[in-house]
Amino acid sequence: MLIFRLKKQLFLLPIVLFTFLGLFLIDNNQVMAMENEKHYIKNKKKSTDIKNELFNLLKNKKELEDKIHDFRNKKQVNCYERDIALKLEIEHNELNSKISEIYKKISKMSKVTFNLKPLIKIIED
d(CA 34, CA 7): 42
Domain ranges of the chain: 10-100
Residues 12-58: pLDDT tens digits? 778 877 787 776 666 555 544 455 555 555 666 677 788 888 899 99
pLDDT confidence of residue 113 = 58
Give the residue among 31, 4, 98, 13 at the shortest CA–CA distance from 60: 98
Are 106 and 48 spatial neighbours (Cβ–Cβ below 8 Å)?
no
* pLDDT value at residue 50: 82
Q: Say how many residues make up the chain.
A: 125
Helical packing angle, 79-109 and 2-73, nearest 10°: 170
Global pTM reads 0.52
pLDDT in tens, 68-90: 888 888 878 788 888 888 899 99
Q: Residue 115 — φ and ψ, nearest 5°?
A: -95, 110
